[in-house]
């Protein structure tokens, strides 16, 4: 049996030597085929990862709890958005505290949509939206820091006069190559220290995603109070599949029978 295999090997080697060019071409074709297959699979994985990342930044694995629908009414026959009682800060904070699903939750609120920011002689138009946020808001809303840093837990807790600017606000307030970090700017009647600048998020549906600024939630509650202020809860699941298993677009109840819309 051993001699049989040895004889077959000798015949194979003789054939290879006799058809060397064909052998080399065959080996090259097989090698290129394997390399192309590996390259295609790698490219597919990279594209898939990029698409998942982009959808994640747009909220594919998040859901939002607010007291009203985001439906836009167009014409007389359009559907009017439903609105329920405001979600109080204590209700939102209790939800986040008791939410035991493996996900990241945050609380935020709109302080004003008509603010003016000023730095020395430069100022913005009175159309800047200001949000009061906690330290998890940027992760749950798809924002990233380009310069500086996020709010610290202490700044959120004590309502520090710190501010994070949207990308479009920097060239308006800071001319030339002025570094905005640690600069003091005026927001209404208050003065705030710039601790960060957001990466550009672009504009969509008439909303200027880069013409916003963020303040610590406790600061907004103290200096931007208004009657019936409602708070929003954002929940970021590790994967989109986890978000699909969450409450989804349905109605849930907070304490006191509060009925709210839960929408991905």
Question: Tens digits of per-residue pLDDT, 7-18?
Answer: 777 777 777 677
Contact 141, 232 (CB under 8 A): no
pLDDT in tens, 162-213: 999 999 999 999 988 899 999 999 998 899 999 999 998 766 544 567 889 9
Least confident of 39-43, 54-58, 60-64, 143-147: 54-58
Tokens linked to 217: 């939630």
Sign of CA dihedral 91, 97, 102, 105: positive
Contact 57, 233 (CB under 8 A): no
Contact 194, 163 (CB under 8 A): yes
Contact 163, 193 (CB under 8 A): yes
Least confident of 72-76, 152-156, 160-164: 72-76
The residue count of the chain comes to 264
Least confident of 28-32, 82-86, 213-217, 243-247: 243-247
| pLDDT given for residue 212 in this prediction | 93
Contact 185, 163 (CB under 8 A): yes
Q: At 255, is the pLDDT very low, low, confident or very high (cuts 50, 70, 90)?
A: very low
Percent of the chain with pLDDT over 70: 76
| pLDDT given for residue 51 in this prediction | 63
| pLDDT given for residue 248 in this prediction | 41
Residue 259 pLDDT > 80, yes or no? no
Least confident of 29-38, 63-72, 244-253: 244-253
Can you list the positions of beta strands (E) in the chain? 62-66, 104-115, 117-119, 122-123, 128-133, 145-148, 162-165, 184-187, 190-198, 203-204, 207-208, 212-216, 232-236, 250-253, 259-263
For the chain, the average pLDDT equals: 81
Percent of the chain with pLDDT over 90: 41
Average pLDDT over residues 43-72: 69
> Around Cβ 23, how many Cβ atoms within 10 Å?
13
Least confident of 94-103, 127-136, 174-183: 94-103
Q: At 263, is the pLDDT very low, low, confident or very high (cuts 50, 70, 90)?
A: very low
Q: At 247, is the pLDDT very low, low, confident or very high (cuts 50, 70, 90)?
A: very low
Please state the pTM of the whole predicted model: 0.67
| pLDDT given for residue 117 in this prediction | 96
Contact 196, 133 (CB under 8 A): no
| pLDDT given for residue 76 in this prediction | 61
């Amino acid at each position: 049996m051993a001699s049989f295999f040895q004889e077959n090997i000798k015949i194979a080697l003789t054939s290879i030597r006799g058809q060397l060019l064909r052998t080399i071409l065959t080996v090259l074709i097989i090698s290129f085929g394997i390399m192309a297959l590996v390259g295609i699979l790698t490219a597919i994985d990279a594209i898939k990862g990029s698409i998942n990342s982009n959808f994640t930044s747009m909220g594919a694995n998040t859901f939002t709890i607010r007291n009203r629908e985001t439906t836009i009414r167009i014409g007389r026959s359009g559907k009017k958005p439903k609105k329920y009682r405001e979600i109080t800060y204590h209700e939102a904070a209790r939800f986040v505290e008791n939410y035991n699903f493996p996900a990241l939750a945050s609380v935020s609120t709109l302080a004003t949509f008509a603010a003016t920011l000023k730095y020395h002689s430069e100022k913005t138009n009175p159309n800047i939206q200001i949000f009061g946020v906690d330290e998890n808001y940027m992760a749950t809303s798809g924002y990233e820091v380009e310069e500086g840093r996020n709010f610290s837990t202490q700044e959120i807790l004590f309502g520090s006069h710190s501010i994070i600017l949207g990308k479009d606000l920097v060239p308006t307030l800071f001319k030339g190559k002025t570094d905005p970090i640690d600069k003091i700017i005026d927001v209404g009647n208050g003065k705030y220290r710039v601790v960060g600048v957001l990466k550009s998020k672009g504009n969509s549906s008439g909303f200027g995603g880069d013409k916003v600024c963020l303040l610590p939630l406790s600061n907004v509650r103290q200096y931007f109070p208004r009657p019936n202020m409602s708070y929003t809860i954002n929940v970021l699941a590790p994967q989109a599949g986890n978000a699909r298993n969450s409450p989804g677009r349905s109605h849930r109840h907070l304490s006191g029978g509060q009925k709210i819309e839960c929408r991905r």
